[in-house]
Amino acid sequence: MSLDPKPGKSQENLLKKPIDGQVLKRLIEASLTWLRTNQQIVNSLNVFPVPDGDTGTNMVLTMQAAYDEIAATPEYNFGKMAHVVAHGALMGARGNSGVILSQLWRGFARAVDNYAILDLPTLVQALAVARDTAYKGVVRPVEGTILTVAKDVAAAAEAAIKTVDDPTAMLEIIVKAADLSVQRTPELLPVLKEAGVVDSGGKGLFFILEGMLRYINGQTLETTTNTVRPISDMLLENSMDSIEPGQDFEVIVDFRPDEPLDIVNLYNDLQQMGTSIQLGEGDGMYRLHIHVPNENVYKPIDYTRTLGTVTKIAIENLVDQMANLEKDCDDRKPVLSPIEPGQIAVVAVSPGAGISRVFASLGAAAIVEGGQTMNPSTQEIIHAFENQPTDKVILLPNNKNIVMTAKAAAGLTVKKVAVIPTRSVPQGLSAMMRLIPSGDFDSVVAEMTSAIDDVETGEVTIATRSVEIDGVEVEEGQIIALHNGKLVLSALTLEEACLGLLKTAHADHFELITMFYGANVPKKEVFHIADIIRNVFPKQEVEVQEGCQPHYQFIIAIE
Amino acid sequence: MSDETTPFGSISVSQRAIANIAYHAALETYGIVGLASKNLVNGWAQVLVKDPTYGVEVHYDGQDINIDLYVIVEYGTRIKSVAHSASSTVRFHVEKALGMPVNEVNVHVRGLRISNLD
């Protein structure tokens, strides 16, 4: 499509001429171009009530079908051309909004049936018929949608016909009415208000009408009004990932400019203040997002106040936020690979999401959440394996308190269930390494059971009460280390506890130290401790894994 | 009945209740101007049914919920698009209300209504 009127050069003569079929063709073309330019904006508004896929895309495809029908038609009769448009829209109607749009065109075409030239009274009548036709298509019209916008447009045209006799002025009134109507849609439809958006179909209809007006006024149709994105497109959550020095604060300012913004100058000025600049636009207001160093915190606010009315300001300390973010554990569910019928299914009990993911990656068929203070029930364990397409099941309790439960579960099913008495996560993982899913059940069980003694288990946690066990005195709140379930030392820092534990376990005789860190340790500290361990045990491979387990700062496998 | 058991007891939802949700969702769909009795034997007199269970059939086999809609569509709309959005609207509303997945929504177009515009 090659439709690019030079900005500033008015096309007004188009409506000064008699409005015939060829004029309609060019207006439709302009509508389609403008709608397509703003397609993503319309898409981004999409919320329920209409599960419509992407409203913007659907409306563009519907208008495209209408335009394809008329593109090569040399028809001068307005009424006949309108029928071709309606036919094309009908054939191409996609999605809910597309169907409504096609009905609007159908009604419009019917009203201008016998008119070779469109005059204003006919236009007003046609808009009313379009509205009526569209409303006929549904038993319970939902207000606050494209239907409401069509209704308001028709009403505005009807009210204006007495005073207006210039088609351009009429089009301006229509576009204005559509704009206002779109802005009112959240008042009529609560679901829009909750989502903080206007109706997408209504907005699409507005762009169709506005495209015509922009074309008449010689404004560009190929680029959106500004080089800014709709607010909903701003990916503010992700922008935090890349914090660099000098980005101490994140400032977000919502403002309504008094005059149209000069985007280029705006960006230039903002770049003096900070980085990571994003500008979003929505319904006459803008949202500015910027990262600034300490000394510039208030500059973006002062600056936007010179542009217009500031409606909302949010400032967040990024450095602090990052520290908090790092503590958060990645609690994605593990991706389990289903087993083939008849194979051996392994059900592992896991205390944390990270550990679950490791078990899943080693081929566990199901994971039961549970650990030190949250023992799973027999029922939960049975649930985990009874739907597996096999009668050969191996249970890994991975905690000494759960071994009994697992054995009870094994006794309550007709399936052949073996419990490998793994008393810790490292033992469970070690057993898991020997799993051959399609192997002979008894020999696999024997092999896996023999593997659990290949690994030494270390656990680091905080004492919940003062006690003396095995000659080790512990104060409540101190950090304690357990080696194969036996309390070996208490310490004041995590670092001290880890090193002491590894020495007790003679880690220097082993090859691999894997540390699963818990949900309660900041990553920074984890990596710091891992570095120290690498220095003290230079011959051992030290691996750090996210475990996400509660209570235990570290679960350490030494093998 | 659609059943769900929670630690506090069980919840069961009747087919008729599901049919009601589907009925109202269908009537809010653009292009659907009514629901029809599934048996045309019942005659055209009943074409625009008031009782939701006439135009909507809900099947629940203990696993999946399947819904059949018997609809009248406005003449002049693209039937495929209307049927598609009716199907997804009904699915959305039923799933939202029940919190249970709907397996399939079949839309049977039983007739067209030709509006007399003049």
CATH number of the domain bearing residue A180: 1.25.40.340
- Residues A143, A19 share a domain: yes
**Residues present in chain B in total:** 118
How much is the average pLDDT of A2-6? Answer: 44
Q: Cβ of B85 under 8 Å from any chain A Cβ?
A: yes
Which of A409, A435, A454 is the last residue before a domain boundary? A454
How much is the average pLDDT of A182-197? Answer: 85
CA dihedral B70, B75, B77, B79 (to 10 degrees): 40
| Local confidence band at A63 (pLDDT 50, 70, 90 cut-offs) | very high
Q: B81, A99: Cβ pair inside 8 Å? A: yes
How much is the average pLDDT of A420-428? Answer: 90
- For residue A237, is pLDDT > 50? no
How much is the average pLDDT of A169-179? Answer: 93
- Residues A394, A269 share a domain: no
Q: Flag whether the pTM goes above 0.80.
A: no
How much is the average pLDDT of A362-377? Answer: 82
Residue A178 maps to a domain: yes
Alpha-carbon distance A220 to A211, whole Å?
Answer: 9
**pLDDT over 90 percentage in chain A:** 23
Q: If contacts are CB pairs under 8 Å, which of residues 99-128 in chain A contact chain B?
A: 99-100, 102-103, 106-107, 110
- For residue A148, is pLDDT > 90? yes
Q: B88, A51: Cβ pair inside 8 Å? A: yes
How much is the average pLDDT of A159-175? Answer: 90
Task: For residue B34, report the phi and psi dihedrals to the nearest 5 degrees.
Answer: 175, 170
Classify residue A483 by burial, with Cβ atoms within 10 Å: 0-12, 13-18, 19+: buried
pLDDT tens digits, one per residue of A251-294: 888 888 887 777 767 777 887 787 777 777 766 677 787 888 88
Q: A50, B85: Cβ pair inside 8 Å? A: yes
Q: A106, B92: Cβ pair inside 8 Å? A: no
- Reported ipTM: 0.76
- For residue A34, is pLDDT > 80? yes
Contacts of B76 in chain A (CB under 8 A): 90, 103, 106, 133, 137
Q: Tell me what pLDDT residue A357 has.
A: 87
- Residues A234, A202 share a domain: no
- Residues A445, A366 share a domain: yes
Q: Cβ of A46 under 8 Å from any chain B Cβ?
A: no
How many structural domains compose chain A?
4
Joined together, the tokens standing for residue A523 give 């990553």
Q: Tell me what pLDDT residue A244 has.
A: 54
Residue A5 maps to a domain: no
- Sheet with A486-491, strands from edge to edge, namely A486-491, A479-483, A456-462, A554-558, A512-517, A541-546
Q: Cβ of A94 under 8 Å from any chain B Cβ?
A: yes
Q: Tell me what pLDDT residue A43 has.
A: 81
Joined together, the tokens standing for residue A220 give 């560009």
Strand partners, B9: B6
- For residue B68, is pLDDT > 80? yes
Q: Cβ of B87 under 8 Å from any chain A Cβ?
A: no
Of residues B61 and A163, which shows the higher confidence score?
A163
Joined together, the tokens standing for residue A254 give 């919502």
- Residues A448, A359 share a domain: yes
- For residue A227, is pLDDT > 50? no
Q: Tell me what pLDDT residue A520 has.
A: 80
Q: Tell me what pLDDT residue B39 has.
A: 64
Contacts of B102 in chain A (CB under 8 A): none
The nearest CA of chain B is from the CA of A93 a distance in Å of 6
- For residue A238, is pLDDT > 50? no
How much is the average pLDDT of A294-298? Answer: 84
Q: B77, A137: Cβ pair inside 8 Å? A: yes
Q: Which residue of B has its CA nearest to A88?
A: B78
Q: A138, B76: Cβ pair inside 8 Å? A: no
- Residues A460, A448 share a domain: no
pLDDT tens digits, one per residue of A434-464: 888 888 888 889 989 988 888 899 999 888 7
- Residues A393, A290 share a domain: no
Q: Tell me what pLDDT residue A79 has.
A: 92
Residue A193 maps to a domain: yes
| Local confidence band at A297 (pLDDT 50, 70, 90 cut-offs) | confident
The nearest CA of chain B is from the CA of A167 a distance in Å of 27
pLDDT tens digits, one per residue of A478-518: 888 889 888 888 888 888 888 888 988 888 888 889 999 88
- Residues A79, A19 share a domain: yes
Q: B78, A100: Cβ pair inside 8 Å? A: no
Looking from the CA of A532 toward its CB, the CA atoms found within 13 Å total 13
Q: A100, B82: Cβ pair inside 8 Å? A: no
- Domain harbouring A433, CATH code: 3.40.50.510
- Residues A463, A444 share a domain: no
Question: What Cα–Cα distance (Å) separates residue A272 from each residue in A252, A262, A299, A316?
Answer: 16, 16, 10, 20
Q: Which residue of B has its CA nearest to A139?
A: B33
**pLDDT over 70 percentage in chain A:** 88
Cα angle A478, A481, A484 (rounded to 5 degrees) comes to 155
Q: Tell me what pLDDT residue B67 has.
A: 93
A139 vs B27, B76, B88: nearest CB: B27
- Residues A121, A58 share a domain: yes
pLDDT tens digits, one per residue of A351-361: 888 888 888 88
Report the candidate in A463, A461, A457 with the shortest Cα–Cα distance to residue A483. Answer: A457
How much is the average pLDDT of A165-184? Answer: 92
- Residues A469, A405 share a domain: no
**pLDDT over 90 percentage in chain B:** 17
Of residues A156 and A312, which shows the higher confidence score?
A156
The nearest CA of chain A is from the CA of B8 a distance in Å of 16
Which of A216, A245, A268 is the last residue before a domain boundary? A216
Residue A336 maps to a domain: no
- For residue A2, is pLDDT > 50? no
| CATH code matching the domain that covers B2-113, chosen among 3.40.50.720, 3.40.50.300, 3.30.930.10, 3.30.70.1350 | 3.30.70.1350
- Residues A547, A414 share a domain: no
- Domain harbouring A514, CATH code: 3.30.1180
Of residues B23 and A191, which shows the higher confidence score?
B23
| Local confidence band at A1 (pLDDT 50, 70, 90 cut-offs) | very low
> What letter would DSSP give residue A6?
P
**Domain edges within chain B:** 2-113
Which of A216, A250, A284 is the last residue before a domain boundary? A216
The nearest CA of chain A is from the CA of B30 a distance in Å of 5
The nearest CA of chain A is from the CA of B32 a distance in Å of 6
Mutate to test the interface with A, among B78, B79, B90, B95 (most CBs of A within 10 A): B78
Alpha-carbon distance A329 to A519, whole Å?
Answer: 6
Alpha-carbon distance A218 to A377, whole Å?
Answer: 73
Q: Which residue of A has its CA nearest to B27?
A: A139
Q: Tell me what pLDDT residue A246 has.
A: 63
The nearest CA of chain B is from the CA of A536 a distance in Å of 51
The residues, any chain, with a CB within 8 Å of residue A41's CB and separated by 6 or more, are A56, A203, A224, A230
Question: What Cα–Cα distance (Å) separates residue A256 from each residue in A250, A286, A346?
Answer: 20, 6, 60
Q: Tell me what pLDDT residue A65 has.
A: 92
Q: B81, A139: Cβ pair inside 8 Å? A: no
Residue A292 maps to a domain: yes
Q: Which of A149-158, A220-229, A313-322 has the lowest mean pLDDT?
A: A220-229
A103 vs B34, B76, B88: nearest CB: B76
Q: A107, B28: Cβ pair inside 8 Å? A: no
Q: Cβ of B52 under 8 Å from any chain A Cβ?
A: no
Residue A432 maps to a domain: yes
Domain hosting A537: range is: 456-558
Q: Tell me what pLDDT residue B40 has.
A: 59
* Average per-residue pLDDT for chain A: 83
Joined together, the tokens standing for residue A326 give 């790092």
Q: Tell me what pLDDT residue A338 has.
A: 77
Q: Cβ of B82 under 8 Å from any chain A Cβ?
A: yes
- Give me the DSSP letters along A441-488: HHHHHHHHHHHGGGSEEEEEEE-SS-EEETTEEE-TT-EEEEETTEEE
